[in-house]
Structure 1
Amino acid sequence: MTSKEIGKQIKERRKVLRITQPDLAEMAGISINTLYKIERGQANPTIQIVNKIAEILGMEIKIAVKQPLL
């Protein structure tokens, strides 16, 4: 998953929950500008920040092993 895809998922979920960017940024302890960049795929946030945002939005981060190509 790319940064843009992660940002798109965060933005879509935030909108479904009707949470504003300023509110989400405050809850996550980041600046509005940082959240804006994350949602646009222009930031390189730490896994801790992405995880915090995901928790707030009721999402989870999963890592899976890819199936080998045969």
Structure 2
Amino acid sequence: MAEFVKQRRRLLQLSQPDLAAKAGVGLRFVRELEQGKATLRLDKVNAVLQLFGHEVGPVPVSRSPEPE
């Protein structure tokens, strides 16, 4: 996710402060998101992703077949 946000931000030629302002989150949050911080508030992550037409949601986990 960190790389996705960073690439999209750069594609739109936004600085980190610009992205933070447009998403309504703090600059520190954007920096932590782009650095891949493991614990982030989901509502804030979605606020950023919505600028790119995306959101976080449940995704099925691929599981290896259990041995018999």
**Structure 2: segments with no counterpart, 5+ residues:** none
* Identity percentage of aligned residues: 28
Please name the residue that 2:63 is paired with: 68
Q: In structure 1, what is the Cα distance between the partners aligned to 2:60 and 2:7? A: 26
Rg larger for: 2
Q: In structure 2, what is the Cα distance between the partners aligned to 1:62 and 1:42? A: 18
Number of paired residues? 65
TM-score (norm 2): 0.76
Identify, as 1 or 2, the structure richer in helix.
Answer: 1
Q: Deviations over 1:1-41 (max 9, x none)?
A: xxxxx111111111111122111101222221221111011
Instruction: Choose from 43, 53, 67 the match for 2:48.
Output: 53
**Structure 1: segments with no counterpart, 5+ residues:** 1-5
Question: Aligned-pair RMSD on alpha carbons?
Answer: 1.7
